[in-house]
Amino acid sequence: MRYVEALKALAGDIIAHRGLLWQMTKRDFRQRYVGSYLGILWAFIQPMVTVLVFLFVFQVGFKSRPVDNFPFFLWLIAGMIPWFFISDSLSSAANAIVEQSFLVKKVVFRVELLPMVKLLSALVVHAFFIGVLFLSFIAYGYGVSIYNLQFLYYTAAIFCLSLGISWLTSALTVFLRDIGQVVAMVLQLAFWGTPIFWSLRMIPAQYHWLLKLNPAYYVIEGYRQSFIYHEWFWQHPALTAYYWGVTLAVLFFGAAFFKRMRPHFADVL
C-alpha cells in the first residue's frame, strides 16, 4: 500500500509542478542538439533517415510485397514510429539523474521527475511523427478513421512502461555508469526481436507466445491495429491484461527501487 501512496503523491507532484516539467522539457530538448548547425531538426531528421533507409532496402532492394494488402511503407512506419518513442525515451532517460546531478542536492526538488523530463522530450518528437503517420496514410488514399485515435491509448501505454523502466535504469546508472551501454544493447536486441519490419506470420505458430512476451509487441501491433487492421485493444483481452500486469509491476518496482536508492545519490554524485 505504501507504494500505491507513493505513486499517488508523485502524481500530485506532477500536477503541481506541470509548469516546471514543461520548462525543463523544452530546455532538455534544446540542449540535446545545442552546438549543431541544424539544431533540434536532428531530432526529426535521424528517425526519418532510418525509415527511408529501411524503405529503400526492403521495398526497392528486396522488393517487399504488400503486407495484408497494405503498402509495405505504411505497414513499416506504423511499427517504426512507436519504436522510435520507446528507444529514444529509454536511451536518454538512463542518464537523467547523472546529467542533472546538481539538482539531486536540492531537497525541495523531486528527483523522480527527471526521468519523466526525458520521456516528455521524446514525446514531442513522437507527436511530430504521429502527424507524419496520418499524412502518409492520407497520401496513399486511406481516410482518417475513429480507430486511428486509439494511438493515444497506446502512447500512454508506452509512457507508463517506459517511466517504470526509466526510474530503474536512471537510479542504477548513478552507481553503475555502464547501464547506459547495457540499455543501448538491450534495445538493439529488442528491435530485431520485435515484429517491426517483419511479420509474426513469418515465425512458426508454436513460437508466437514467446515473442508476445515482449511488451513492445503489444504497442507495435497496437499501432497497426489502430491504423491498418482497425481493431480495438479490448478485442485482445489476454494480451492487454498481460501488458498492463507487466507495466504496473515495472512501475511499482521502479518507483520503489528509485525511492530506496535516492538517499544515496548525493554521496555518489
Task: Using the predicted structure, report yes or no on whether residue 172 has a pLDDT greater than 80.
Answer: yes
Comparing 135 with 268, the larger pLDDT belongs to 135
Q: What is the mean pLDDT of residues 68-97?
A: 88
Q: Is the pLDDT of residue 218 over 90?
A: yes
Q: Residue 7's pLDDT is what? A: 61
SS (H, E, C) the chain: CHHHHHHHHHHHHHHHCHHHHHHHHHHHHHHCCCCCCCHHHHHHHHHHHHHHHHHHHHHHHCCCCCECCECHHHHHHHHHHHHHHHHHHHHHHCCHHHHCHHHHCCCCCCCCHHHHHHHHHHHHHHHHHHHHHHHHHHHCCCCCCHHHHHHHHHHHHHHHHHHHHHHHHHHHHHHCCCHHHHHHHHHHHHHHHCCCCCCHHHCCHHHHHHHCCCHHHHHHHHHHHHHHHCCCHHHCHHHHHHHHHHHHHHHHHHHHHHHHHHHHHHHHC
Q: Which residue has the higher pLDDT, 39 or 185?
A: 185
Query: Domains in the chain: how many in total?
Result: 1
pLDDT value of position 40: 65
Is the separation of the CB atoms in 119 and 159 below 8 Å? yes
- What does the block give as the cell for 177? 555508469
pTM of structure: 0.86
Q: Using only the alpha carbons of the chain, give its radius of gyration.
A: 19
Share of the chain above pLDDT 90, in %: 31
C-alpha to C-alpha distance for 52 and 33, rounded to whole angstroms: 22
pLDDT of residue 8: 66
Range of the domain at 21: 2-268
Q: How confident is the model at residue 63 (pLDDT cuts 50, 70, 90)?
A: low
Nearest to 166 by CA among 234, 94, 249, 218: 94
127, HSE (Cβ side, Cα atoms, 13 Å): 6
At 173-217, the pLDDT tens digits run 989 888 889 999 999 999 888 888 887 877 878 888 888 889 999
Arithmetic mean of pLDDT over the chain: 83
Compare 27 and 89 and report the one with higher pLDDT.
89
Cell of 110: 523531486
**Structural contact between residues 211 and 203, judged by C-beta atoms closer than 8 angstroms:** yes
pLDDT tens digit sequence for 84-139:
999 999 998 888 888 877 766 665 667 888 888 889 888 888 988 898 889 888 98
